[in-house]
Amino acid sequence: MIGSLLLNLLAILQALLLPVQASRYLSALLLVLSIYFAGGSVGSLVGDAYTAIGMIAIAVPAVVTLLFHKNPQRHFVLLTTLVTVAGYFVVASRNLATLAMSLEAMSLAAAAVAFYPATKEKVRTLTTYLIFSVFAAVLLFSGLAFYFAGTNGFSLVEFTQTPTAIVGLSLILASIMIKIAVTPMHAWAVDVYSLSSTSAALYLSNAVKAAAFLALGILASGPLKAAFSVGYWQVLVPVLALAAISVGVGAGGMALSDRAKRLLAFSSIAHAGFALLAIASPGPAAAAILAYYALAYSIANTIAFSSVLLIKGEEDVSIRGLSALYKRPLTALAFAIAMISLLGVPPTAGFNAKLFALFSLLASAQIPYAFVLAVALAAVVFTAATGYGYAKAIAAVARPPEEEAEVGNLSLEFLLWILAAMLLFLYFFPTLPTPTNLM
Amino acid sequence: MIEVFILLMGAATMFAAAVLWDPDIVRAAASLVMVFLLTGFALLAIGAWFVGAMQVLLGAGAVAVLALYAAITTKKRKEVLRAPHAGKIAALALGILGISIGFLTLNTPGVLTVYSSDTGAIADVLFRDIGLTVALSLLLLVALIASAYIIRYVFLREVRA
Amino acid sequence: MSELGGALWATIPLLVVGLYGIAARRNLVRIMLALEIVGAATVTMLGAAAAAKWQASGEVLGLLALVAVGIEGALLIALATLFNEMYGDMDVIVLKEGGEEK
């Protein structure tokens, strides 16, 4: 882990000092390299397979944004590097204090990324993001205070059974639910993802969300599991109900939207809800499923946002406008694979991710079975409803474009093909790492 | 010393109410200084003098003064307080939340005897875990760069104009 | 009621007032003030718990919370200054009303 930390520091330093044309490539390189050197541990930052999967899920959108954003400003490279490093810390942290600090660092830097490029229109996205992240932060820290008062420390494993600790845990859970945009706190995601520039939206909707999924996994395999084992399953009843509703809200929004970025924003809300179902039987298995889900989601969503980047650059594109990909059959195929992975149809990683999350939900022993079944049914039905939105997008790329549009960036397209192949590969060889060394 | 603590917290809550409902934003910001001072003194009263002193120094001395600065520079000092329609629902929900949290945490085990902060132990917790220190330093760096990036736009506008 | 329970009881009103402020106020400086109220409540709670349990880690956590919430506040102040320069108003409602730039 120490090598990884040094590379991260180097990445931040060179983004501060070097000219942007060099630093964007160097930053991407250093961030990817630091995954390779992430073994071992430094204090409560631990590098294991779980950390590595999380880092890959964060690095994929980071690399795409850093390499393929046209004429980035220097700040963008710096802020993206900072969010990525903070995300790495989130997935590597194994106690609550470090987790809280890294989550804060990540969401503050992400707020600044939402303001990119600094123009009048982006003030709105910044305001929305910042106010919601402030709300999440106060819940996180007051939850931490109650958790500390209840359990005598900020350890993830030494859990004392008191109602105070449960209150704290619920508040921390609520804070992470705001960060991944679960209903009723989803409004910010629609605003931020659809109004900010494509590169920023690509990055925020994948990296930040993936890191928050993995943070949820760490919580699930630590205190949440302990709380469950002493019979406090009631905590999760409202969480699961909100998760199912959130899939419904996502499906509804997708059916109604006709802009690509808005469609993907609602899709991200539906996914946040579905991933949350995995914590119904908390433990290392749930954490593993969340990590796999985060990876599958991050890759597929990166392909989807990159297609917008490919067609319109930083602008939004209508769903009909996606037909510009028609001339590039392989890229259109990659886009279609990403869409069916997001929907959850075999043979893509998205299918496995959703299946595992459902298994985890149905395996819950303590929550009343009727409730579990109702939530599962609602989630599956709403997911089927999201199919309409994804089908719109796939139908668009299968149609010849009405007006000529020049699409061509071979290196980005090549990367998208590889990512799409990874989605297929992950279906046949799913990887399910569990967080170790909780302290 | 729990009586002194509760008394000071009661006073702090009054000032907190003044922060929200005083139409003059400068007075509201000044009330925040009082909130930090009173909560800091409450902590001093129960012997947690390290974090109490931090509350007074960092809270009242830095954060609240920053708020006061922002309030003084504002062009609209008097504010018409308009809560959104959902304000009443929020108040009700938060009231219920507060009372239920209060009942759940009523029997948290712990006795406020004569505690006194131990700087050695605090330093040990803060610096033994390098991971925590690294995460904290990253947070500070992010704060610096992110706020500089946001504020830079003000100057960009002037240059463009 | 335990002594720590009493201390938490005394702090919760502060927490609720602060949360209400974040939810119901639209002026950015006012939101920042409310945020800092919650921060003060959190730090007080952590300090009280540290004193009740004889755990120095509570005070460290209190310091970290104070720093983190202070930083959030600083970012909000940066945004408020931006609003003040752009619109001459710190109320986020100007964004809804079309945001007439000065």
CATH architecture designation of domain B2-117:
Up-down Bundle (1.20)
| A42 class by beta-carbon count within 10 Å (0-12 exposed, 13-18 middle, 19+ buried) | middle
- Report the pLDDT value the prediction gives residue A326, as an integer from 0 to 100: 86
Q: pTM of the full predicted structure?
A: 0.95
Residue with the two structure tokens 């474009």: A401
Q: What is the DSSP string of A128-146?
A: HHHHHHHHHHHHHHHHHHH
For residue C70, what pLDDT band results from cuts at 50, 70 and 90? very high
Residue with the two structure tokens 């009330």: B31
Within 10 angstroms of residue A72's Cβ, the number of other Cβ atoms is 21
Integer Cα distance of A103 and A91 in angstroms: 10
Integer Cα distance of A93 and A438 in angstroms: 9
Q: Is B125 on the interface with C (CB under 8 A)?
A: yes
A89–chain B nearest CA distance, Å: 7
The residues on C that touch A, with CB distances below 8 Å, are 4, 8, 15, 18-19, 22-23, 28, 31, 35, 38-39, 41-42, 45-46, 48-50, 52-53, 55, 57-58, 60-61, 64-65, 68-69, 71-72, 75-76, 79, 82-83, 86, 92, 95, 99, 101
Q: Is A285 on the interface with C (CB under 8 A)?
A: no
Residue spans of the domains in chain B: they are 2-117, 119-161
Q: Give, for A77, the enclosing helix (H) or strand (E).
A: helix A74-92
The long-range contacts involving A232-239, CB below 8 angstroms and separated by at least 24 positions, are: A232/A161, A232/A166, A233/A364, A233/A366, A233/A367, A235/A166, A235/A169, A235/A170, A235/A173, A236/A279, A236/A280, A236/A282, A236/A367, A237/A367, A237/A371, A239/A173, A239/A177, A239/A276, A239/A279
Cβ–Cβ below 8 Å for B59 and C43: yes
Residue spans of the domains in chain A: they are 2-428
Integer Cα distance of B89 and B94 in angstroms: 8
What's chain B's average pLDDT? 89
Cβ–Cβ below 8 Å for A123 and C82: yes
CB proximity under 8 Å: A 163-202 to C: 164
> Is there a contact between A305 and A198 (Cβ–Cβ < 8 Å)?
yes
> Is there a contact between A110 and A81 (Cβ–Cβ < 8 Å)?
no
For residue B152, what pLDDT band results from cuts at 50, 70 and 90? confident
Q: Pull the structure tokens for residue A405.
A: 């549009």
pLDDT per position as a tens digit, C16-34? 999 999 888 888 999 999 9
Q: Pull the structure tokens for residue B15.
A: 């000032």
Residue C40 has pLDDT above 80, yes or no: yes
Integer Cα distance of A374 and A154 in angstroms: 35
Q: Quick check: ipTM above 0.85?
A: yes
Q: Which residues pair with B21 in a beta bridge?
A: none
C95–chain A nearest CA distance, Å: 7
> Is there a contact between A319 and A249 (Cβ–Cβ < 8 Å)?
no
- Report the pLDDT value the prediction gives residue B29, as an integer from 0 to 100: 93
Number of domains observed in the structure of chain C: 1
Residue with the two structure tokens 């809300």: A269
Give the closest of C24, C40, C52 to B110, CB-based.
Answer: C52
- Report the pLDDT value the prediction gives residue C23, as an integer from 0 to 100: 87
Contacts with A78 from chain B: Cβ below 8 Å = 145
Domain with C13, as residue range(s), is 3-96
Subunits touching A (CB < 8 Å, at least 3 pairs)? Answer: B, C
CATH number at C92 reads 1.10.287.3510
CB proximity under 8 Å: C 29-88 to B: 29-30, 32-34, 36-37, 39-41, 43-44, 46-54, 56-60, 62-64, 66-71, 73-75, 77-82, 84-86, 88
C30, closest residue in chain A (CA to CA): A131
DSSP, res A278:
G
Q: Which residues pair with A45 in a beta bridge?
A: A42, A93
Residue C102 has pLDDT above 60, yes or no: no
Q: Is residue C85 assigned to a domain?
A: yes
Cβ–Cβ below 8 Å for B105 and A166: no
Q: Is residue C101 assigned to a domain?
A: no
Closest by alpha carbon to C90, among C40, C28, C32, C2? Answer: C28
Residue with the two structure tokens 């509760």: B6
Give me the residues of chain A with pLDDT under 70, please. none
- Report the pLDDT value the prediction gives residue C101, as an integer from 0 to 100: 63
Q: Is A88 on the interface with B (CB under 8 A)?
A: no
Q: Is residue C19 assigned to a domain?
A: yes
Contacts with C7 from chain B: Cβ below 8 Å = 2, 5-6, 46, 112
Integer Cα distance of A114 and A357 in angstroms: 30
- Count of CA atoms in the C-beta half-sphere (13 A) of A383: 28
Contacts with B70 from chain C: Cβ below 8 Å = 29, 32, 77, 80-81
- Tell me the CA distances in angstroms from A128 to A104, A369, C79, one per residue in order: 16, 38, 11
What's chain C's average pLDDT? 88
The long-range contacts involving A7-14, CB below 8 angstroms and separated by at least 24 positions, are: A7/A31, A7/A33, A7/A34, A7/A37, A8/A34, A8/A85, A8/A88, A11/A81, A11/A85, A12/A78, A12/A81, A12/A82, A12/A85, A12/B141
> Is there a contact between A66 and A226 (Cβ–Cβ < 8 Å)?
no
A163, closest residue in chain C (CA to CA): C5
Q: Is residue C102 assigned to a domain?
A: no
Q: Is C95 on the interface with B (CB under 8 A)?
A: no
For residues C54-59, average pLDDT: 90
Contacts with C1 from chain B: Cβ below 8 Å = 106-107
Test the B interface: residue of A79, A95, A102 with most B CBs within 10 Å = A102
B158, closest residue in chain C (CA to CA): C85
Q: How would you label B2-19 residue by residue, b for 16+ Cβ within 10 Å and e otherwise?
A: beebbebbebbbebbbbb
Contacts with A110 from chain B: Cβ below 8 Å = none
